Structure 1
Amino acid sequence: MERASVHSLPFELHTMIIKHRPEELGWIEDDFRSPSLFPNNVANVWDVWRAVLAHIPECWPRVVFDVAKDPAPFLDAFAWSKGLVGLEVAKYNNSKFSEVHDDEEAQRVSAILDALLPHIPREAPHLEALTLECILDNVGLTKIPPSIWPCHQHSSFPRLRKLSLTAFWFLFLVNNADTDLGWLAELEPSLDPCLFISCFAFPEHGRSFLEAFMQCLSVMESWQNINLVNLSLAFEFNSSVASPEYSYVLFSETELRFRNVSRSFLSHFDFLVGNHKAASGINHLTFERCELPTTLKFFPTSNDLKLSNYIHIGDCKAGIRDTLDRYGEAYDDDLQWLGTPKGYCIRDGAVAYEEMPLWDLMQT
């Protein structure tokens, strides 16, 4: 009698075996690159199992591509998912730099996008939030396929209230546009939308340096609520040797919020706008989890100033005092709060006791 082999099992039995698994597998946060995660571990072993998984939509809440390998076997995975509702698409490169050339990686990314785009409706009348994320180490990378931004063929989103871009995405969309702002300029969101720009360390030179970012930001007239989050400089800024060619002006009704941005970023930002006589146009400012530089020229010009969570003011006590004196809301209790330790915070990767160095304000 011939011995039974897994290859001789009927398709239905393979399906039963694969479906018989713990219900709460879930995805381990930040571990989606692991080749041992289901269903990729099974689908990579045998094309028959991959064909079985293609008929089990609940197995595909996330589609993961390692562009170090040919993505062709999984390009149809977007159709395997259950109606594409809540589908996550992740792409990463698990190879060393020498193994996969930039052009080859770009071709594979383009193939993945070409497979995904037919499943994305261009018109999204009910879309309320759109997020485009990209964490890129090589900021000099410019050879990105034209189809890299999936929404460029449609610009009307009447219910869009939140657009979230990494700073790289923001600069890339502008720098590769046919018009001044391209798709961003043509975008038709809802009234009073919020723009979030995040996660970038600006280099000193190149297409992605801070001056280019400020130039783009200064013409974003339709976005009056701008949030700058987790931004920093990849170099040490020295205002004594810097010489800006131009001072950038933000629109008078702009509500500008800084959250968890570096002190050097704020210094350079202030240097680029603070010397201009129209810098007073920044009427609404919010700083959250920021370390403010000693002097901020655009800081006292705001008519609406908010400081929240462990703000480290540095040595700008006089500037803070002069500013708070102009606001009726700045009572003794507020000043007491500014001078009182508020607990613990994370600074430079370590836990530190946070004190607000403004106690002497209450002594005057």
Structure 2
Amino acid sequence: MDQLPVELHIKILNVLASLSWQDDPLSNQDPRSPSLFPFNVASVCTQWLAIVSEIPECWTRVIFDVAKDPTPFLDAFLWSEDLEIIEVLVFTSSTDDGKEYGKTEKQRSIAITQALRPHVHRCKSITFDITYSTSLPPAHIFFLKDSPYLEKLVLECAHDDIQIEPDSWMTTVVNRPHFGSDFSKLKKLSLTGFSFLYLALHLDSPESFAKFQFRRSMELYVSRFTFLGSGHYTVTNFMRYFLHAVRRTTHFHDLSLSYNEENWVTRLSYSIVFYFTPFISSRYPKISLPASMLQSRYFAQARSPTKNVKCPILGKIMR
């Protein structure tokens, strides 16, 4: 193969690219498949990688499997920089949940995040679906600039391994950053409980969530976190911010307490639909609600997919 003229290699790969787009549109492909073009041919040899890197249309969707070394593809965001919209997926095919893998996953995720950051404003979707919460990028970095194309931001993990000191803020930020405001196309925002609160702690106040111009129909997902009994990462502090970020439909998954609490139901999943009623402001007067919420007054109804029980978080704070 090395003896073939470079021009022939280029022609072959251009034909493969056109066939891939014609016969199997991006929307119909399994994004996690190792046979996905152009990643399949780019992994064959450095020559083919160099050739497809010169075809910007090949890199409108950038995919990383953190079970493998991401280095060859870290410049993929630059290969399509003249194009307006890209999609990003970071996942793991590994079933290893050991400490050594965790260190490797975190290092690779950091490298990918650093390469991605200058291109966040171009993204239509950003998904991190990996093993450990410590490998996830901090949520606030995706809100530092307007992202008018962003429709989906997902930061999810299989295991929450973050260790938090009860009184720790878990941030080195001295001056709070300036955030963007245009996120009007965002349809789905999925964060771990820690990611949600870490983002919230970068804001001036709970009311600052209103500065993010989220669409009213956006679905909010909060998952995988154990709330502390004191400090910044409590369920009460979570609700202070949550009520200002609340959307029409909110989903809780795998949330629990680090301490015993009467009537607390641990680690269940809920979809919460918000209706107009004075229930919350009358049951939880300590929270200062924005004017729009005081006028409409939301009621949260928890729905469990497995049984008819009360939502543990709302059950705790609205007694």
TM-score, structure 1 as length reference: 0.56
SS of 2:211's equivalent? coil
Q: Does the aligned pair in 2 maintain the 1:155–1:183 contact within 8 Å?
A: no
Identify the residue that residue 14 of structure 1 maps to in structure 2. 9
**Pairwise CA distance, 1:80:** 1.5
Identify the residue that residue 39 of structure 1 maps to in structure 2. 38
Is 1:104 aligned with 2:126?
A: no
Greater relative CO, 1 or 2 (CA 8 Å, sep 6+): 2
Provide Cα deviations, 1:79-109, integer angstroms capped at 9, x if missing partner: 1126343311111122223495212211111
Name the aligned partner's letter for residue 31 of structure 2: F
Identify the residue that residue 165 of structure 1 maps to in structure 2. 189
Name the aligned partner's letter for residue 97 of structure 1: D
**Pairwise CA distance, 1:254:** 4.3
Q: Does the aligned pair in 2 maintain the 1:228–1:257 contact within 8 Å?
A: no
Identify the residue that residue 125 of structure 2 maps to in structure 1. none
Name the aligned partner's letter for residue 157 of structure 1: S
CA separation of 1:111/1:153 partners in 2, compared to 1, >3 Å: closer, same or farther?
Answer: farther
Higher helix residue share = 2
Name the aligned partner's letter for residue 13 of structure 2: I
CA distance in 1, matches of 2:264, 2:251: 25
TM-score, structure 2 as length reference: 0.62
Name the aligned partner's letter for residue 73 of structure 1: P
Is 1:156 aligned with 2:180?
A: yes
SS of 1:242's equivalent? coil
**Pairwise CA distance, 1:219:** 3.8
CA distance in 2, matches of 1:13, 1:113: 35
SS of 2:248's equivalent? strand
Is 1:49 aligned with 2:72?
A: no
Is 1:134 aligned with 2:155?
A: yes
Q: After the TM superposition, which residues 1-364 of structure 1 pair with which residues of structure 2 at under 5 Å, given as runs? A: 6-21=1-16, 22=19, 23-27=22-26, 31-81=30-80, 83-95=82-94, 96-98=96-98, 101-121=101-121, 123-124=145-146, 127=148, 131-141=152-162, 153-158=177-182, 160=184, 162=186, 164-168=188-192, 171-175=194-198, 185=208, 188-190=211-213, 196-198=219-221, 200=223, 212-220=234-242, 222-223=244-245, 226-233=247-254, 241-242=262-263, 248=284, 251=289, 252=294, 253-255=296-298, 261-262=304-305, 263=307, 266-275=310-319
Structure 2 gaps of 5+ residues are: 122-143, 165-169, 266-282
CA distance in 2, matches of 1:129, 1:89: 11
Q: Does the aligned pair in 2 maintain the 1:228–1:259 contact within 8 Å?
A: no
CA separation of 1:38/1:131 partners in 2, compared to 1, >3 Å: closer, same or farther?
Answer: closer
SS of 1:106's equivalent? helix
**Pairwise CA distance, 1:154:** 4.0
CA distance in 2, matches of 1:55, 1:206: 50
Q: Does the aligned pair in 1 maintain the 2:228–2:235 contact within 8 Å?
A: no
Q: Does the aligned pair in 2 maintain the 1:214–1:248 contact within 8 Å?
A: no
CA separation of 1:92/1:63 partners in 2, compared to 1, >3 Å: closer, same or farther?
Answer: same
Aligned-pair Cα RMSD in Å: 4.2
**Aligned residue pairs, count:** 253
CA separation of 1:221/1:164 partners in 2, compared to 1, >3 Å: closer, same or farther?
Answer: same
SS of 1:37's equivalent? coil
SS of 2:2's equivalent? helix
CA separation of 1:103/1:191 partners in 2, compared to 1, >3 Å: closer, same or farther?
Answer: closer
Q: Does the aligned pair in 2 maintain the 1:67–1:93 contact within 8 Å?
A: yes
Q: Does the aligned pair in 1 maintain the 2:219–2:248 contact within 8 Å?
A: yes
Which structure: larger Rg? Answer: 1
Q: Does the aligned pair in 1 maintain the 2:62–2:88 contact within 8 Å?
A: yes
